[in-house]
Structure 1
């Protein structure tokens, strides 16, 4: 089974897990329907895939790592719901379906995003995720750093502020680190925390792997957005294509992937799912 087949199989399985979890806690309100809609509105589930694959290598229990993976996907889904709003990217469709604020309304979409984010922290703080409260606290703290003003939200805010303005390549990389790569970093760090592996060296190595993986994802996302955009392909866009050609971005991504896989001994054989994933992301076109 190649990486794309493996990822597709995982996505189908994880979507069933999401549906079961959300149905088990269901409240018959428009808000909860919007939460489920935004969460189950397609997606490749790359972030939870990373969490689950690394957790398996660390021999973490399925119940624990599935809850951790769900928390990550809840944060990602909240960010997409908010990104699509008129005040942000103003998109009517995502993955060929109406965005949450178009399917429902803007107010409900905002609250749905907020509720998904809060639910992520509820899951991590629950003893079902891990019996040790210190480990749960560490997970909550690190997800807060990855998703708040020092991470995802901060990067998105910086992106909004500099839309249509001059920006340096280094500054754009900083935005990408916060907006995208910090959550990928958490995807690799959190299984270590769940396994109670606190060594500085190993944590630094997985952090670097996660950050580089996130930078690859964002750079290829920029390529896809640039090629699909029908307007304003100019120097005002917060996009790596402002500074690099498509070939240069591809080379940059492969360089980051090589750096990760050459230096990492975390995952055993180089022929493992996470190494395969990083090269797949470096060459993706959709």
Structure 2
């Protein structure tokens, strides 16, 4: 074969290999497209990367994406079993918070996702640490680090002692991008079983009365009360937002016997419930 025919073939082969390598290089980063790294935790074997949209932890509900990179080959692990334990160090005690353990994200190869609900923090964001336990191919590992948790400007989580002498955590989850109209309101309800255990509260209910304090404390039509959804173990309601601005979501938490555990009705004399969450858009 003449050289003038061989050269194009060689160039085509090199171009194909280059494209293939570029595609492989881009594949794993694309699994976290649109996310910002919060920080890394590491041990002798792995680096664990934590991501979300803001690149920060805040009080309230935090969806967290993570990847585990093997230090020996810089490849991301695809078959890990994970659990984590956030811990707040108080002067006289330690406690955790509501959370879900990370699981493989749908349609992803190297990405795991879960959530953590920080119910409090220190003024400078200090006080919290995160321990991650995981196993790969039957080998157990652990990584831990201090983390920064900033105070959210809005009250998106409420921790309180109910009338039944049980401590509860109620957290705003959705809508993350509210609209004028009917929104799917999603709230998580948890109880403090021990200082380290916060199981989901099932089959309770919450009444909803959204108000705009800056606009005469008016409400809105077509809201519904929050009811427990067995499929995702959260509480759902229709939240009607008639205009942009600052809203207070006044709540009452009721147990299965419809006894009020926290919160009050809104009246002319009582303009805000003691159990509330805030929203602004």
Whether TM exceeds 0.5 here: the answer is no
TM-score range, shorter chain: under 0.3
Structure showing greater Rg:
2
TM-score norm. by structure 1 comes to 0.24
More helix by share: 1
Quick one: higher RCO (CA 8 Å, sep 6+), 1 or 2? 1
More strand by share: 2
TM-score norm. by structure 2 comes to 0.25
